[in-house]
Chains A and B, each alone.
Chain A
Amino acid sequence: MPTVLSYFLGFTAIYILMCWAIYLPYRVGQLYFTTVACMAIVAYFSGFAAREWGWPFIFVLLVGIAIGAIIAYILSHAIGKAPCFTVVIVGLAFIFIVKTVIENWELLGGTVGFFGIPPVNNLLLIAYILLGIVGFVIYQIDHSRLGRAASVVFVDRDAAASLGVNIKSLGMFYQTIAGAIGGMAGVLYTFLLGSLSPEFFAFAMVGSLVCMLFVGGYTTMWGVIVSAPILGGIPILLPVTISSWRQVIYGILLVLIILVRPEGLITKRMLWNLKGKNRYKTASNLVNTRREKVG
């Protein structure tokens, strides 16, 4: 397989994973960027473990997922039910701190980067199997009590709380899963590229992920599957003169999509119409029917 194509496929998988990691906490109304910091930490950890300690890939993967989840779990005790912008700034500040620590740590290569990570056979296959597993888990979560509870929390926190939803533990649950997915994406990224640079885990990364999530649609998990290959993957195939403007395109697209189609390209209503079910249940409808039942 040509290198460019394998990069395209690999980055698409990583971007979809990362977008899902942001999509999940946004179900309860939190823009959770800490997952990018988890990804950076785990990426450097896995690179170091593979090069210096010679750990096998599968072991690195499991430990990486665990590290991501543990970081997110510890932080979620404080920000489990925090307002959206508190979560945003915790994420951004955490990314900044992690980036500065990496840049100043000689052991991790500093600003130059970290090189010489041993390659893994069939990485793309493993990546897509993992992607399938994560997608299946998210689908199950979305169609369980947890997913419905999250939809209600997104629309009206007070109503959700009065219906018996524990907002904090729900937020903690979603954040921990997001951290684990971030860790997984970090390991895959490390072995896909074979080298690491602190520049990648910067503000631009957050912007790209938010763009993919909101252009694709944040109400369903399927939106990013459409937007990540187009927005994240295709710039890899394009010549540098065009792809260096990708951030401008991301920004303009982000503003346009909010103005024209605020829920993104693929919405819940669209999926329901596709399935041919005429009765469309929004979360607010659910709350209202529940209220009628209670009243």
Chain B
Amino acid sequence: MEVFLAQLINGLALGSIYVLLVTGFNLMILVARIIQFAYPQFVVLSMYACWEVLRLTNNVFLAVFACISTSIVLNILSEPIFRRITNMKGIDINASFVASLGIAIVITDIMSHSLNYGFPIAFPTSWVEGSLARFGLIMISKGQLYALAGSIIAVLLFFYLLYRTKQGRLFRAIAENRFAARLIGIPIVKTSIFSYFIAGLLGGFIAILLSLLLGSASPWLGEFVALKILAVSIVAGLGNLRGGLVCGLCLGVTEAMAMGYLSGSWSNVVSFVIMLIIILIKPQGLFGTSIS
């Protein structure tokens, strides 16, 4: 029972980070009409930036700033590439996936070649150290609780932005019907660029939460997370924000449970097998998709 409780909290923390990632990913699908497969890679690269600044200056605020600004800059920089692709005639959303796959490959390989000589990075543990509760071998660390609280706040803020502000209404209008949105005078390009900015901000925040929760990062973390995020968003239905919320949490909890009760390397497979079965039974996703 104690293992169950501890893993439940761990799973919720992990799941809420997945929710944030899926939300950022879905935002790009809905507003910018691209599949941003490299989004988790941007997050991991921001974690590297955070680590580097923390190592050089030992200043937490500077590190957080570096992390968020790296993520925003990366996302904004990728915007012209994707805008050019989506504006091409006769080219569908697959092309954006292939281009972002290329970006993802480049980032992963540069990280595994040059940054920290390709070794995984470990964040200093002093600011997340200390357990709040301990059940036998399993403990709930401060980092987990910070991550859980931070991601809940971020999810609430994001959904507030989307459903209660004017900017959010513009996003939803474009997602609903791009053509009609243009007709009634919504600035498509400007809103689209703003969606990249929001996705970047979210990405930077996710990077901080991930470094709190995991305490380390490796070059291959990005593609591993990207795989999960794409799978979750397909299971939920591409571009379905509420579906992503439910499925992201479910994935986190399932993974944590598998980690608690199964041996290490098999725990990751369990969630993939479950997702694969769901996808094979319902190829359109559990909650339906708006993307054709």
Do A and B share a complex? yes
CB within 8 Å of B: which residues of A?
29, 31, 75, 78-79, 82-86, 88-90, 92-94, 96-97, 100-101, 103-104, 203-204, 207, 210-211, 214, 244-245, 247-248, 250-255, 258-259, 262, 284
Collect the chain B residues with CB atoms within 8 Å of residue A258's CB.
85, 95, 98-99, 102
Collect the chain B residues with CB atoms within 8 Å of residue A214's CB.
98
For B104, give its contact among A97, A251, A284 (CB under 8 Å).
A251
* Least CB distance, A74 to chain B, in whole angstroms: 10
Q: Is A254 a contact partner of B99 (Cβ separation < 8 A)?
A: yes
Q: Is A251 a contact partner of B103 (Cβ separation < 8 A)?
A: yes
Bitwise, B11-35 to A at CB < 8 A (1) or not (0) is 0000000000000000000000001
With known contacts A93-B227, A104-B265, A255-B102, A86–B279 Cβ distance under 8 A: yes
Given contacts A86-B234, A96-B269, A259-B81, 5 further A-B contacts (CB under 8 A): A31-B97, A84-B93, A85-B234, A86-B279, A262-B91
A82 to B237, CA, bound (A): 12
Bitwise, B97-116 to A at CB < 8 A (1) or not (0) is 11101111110111001000
With known contacts A85-B35, A250-B105, A251-B106, A94–B84 Cβ distance under 8 A: no
Q: Is B268 a contact partner of A84 (Cβ separation < 8 A)?
A: no
Most chain B CB within 10 A, of A29, A204, A255, is at A255
At the interface, yes or no: B88 with Cβ under 8 Å from chain A? yes
Collect the chain B residues with CB atoms within 8 Å of residue A262's CB.
85, 88, 91, 95
Q: Is B276 a contact partner of A97 (Cβ separation < 8 A)?
A: yes
* Least CB distance, A246 to chain B, in whole angstroms: 9
For A251, give its contact among B81, B109, B230 (CB under 8 Å).
B109
At the interface, yes or no: B94 with Cβ under 8 Å from chain A? yes
* Least CB distance, A196 to chain B, in whole angstroms: 19
Selected A-B contacts with CB under 8 Å, 11 pairs? A82-B283, A85-B35, A89-B230, A89-B234, A96-B227, A214-B98, A244-B113, A247-B108, A247-B109, A248-B113, A259-B81
A31 to B279, CA, bound (A): 16
Using a CB-CB cutoff of 8 Å, which residues 223-249 of chain B contact chain A?
223, 227, 230-231, 234, 238
For B99, give its contact among A90, A96, A255 (CB under 8 Å).
A255
CB within 8 Å of A: which residues of B?
35, 81, 84-85, 88, 90-95, 97-99, 101-106, 108-110, 113, 223, 227, 230-231, 234, 238, 265-266, 268-269, 272-273, 275-276, 279-281, 283-284, 289, 291-292
A59 to B276, CA, bound (A): 32
Collect the chain B residues with CB atoms within 8 Å of residue A89's CB.
227, 230-231, 234, 275, 279
* Least CB distance, B51 to chain A, in whole angstroms: 21
For B283, give its contact among A29, A79, A255 (CB under 8 Å).
A79
Q: Is A252 a contact partner of B106 (Cβ separation < 8 A)?
A: yes
Q: Is B84 a contact partner of A259 (Cβ separation < 8 A)?
A: yes
- 4 smallest beta-carbon distances between A and B, as pairs: A254-B102, A251-B106, A251-B105, A82-B283
Most chain A CB within 10 A, of B92, B103, B268, B280, is at B280
Q: Is A78 a contact partner of B280 (Cβ separation < 8 A)?
A: yes
* Closest partner residue, chain A, to B88 (CB atom): A262
A79 to B280, CA, bound (A): 7
Q: Is A93 a contact partner of B283 (Cβ separation < 8 A)?
A: no
Collect the chain A residues with CB atoms within 8 Å of residue B230's CB.
85, 88-89, 92
With known contacts A29-B94, A100-B268, A90–B105 Cβ distance under 8 A: no
Collect the chain A residues with CB atoms within 8 Å of residue B289's CB.
83
Q: Is B85 a contact partner of A90 (Cβ separation < 8 A)?
A: no
Q: Is A247 a contact partner of B105 (Cβ separation < 8 A)?
A: yes
Q: Is B99 a contact partner of A104 (Cβ separation < 8 A)?
A: no
Q: Is B227 a contact partner of A250 (Cβ separation < 8 A)?
A: no
A96 to B224, CA, bound (A): 9
For B101, give its contact among A75, A100, A254 (CB under 8 Å).
A254
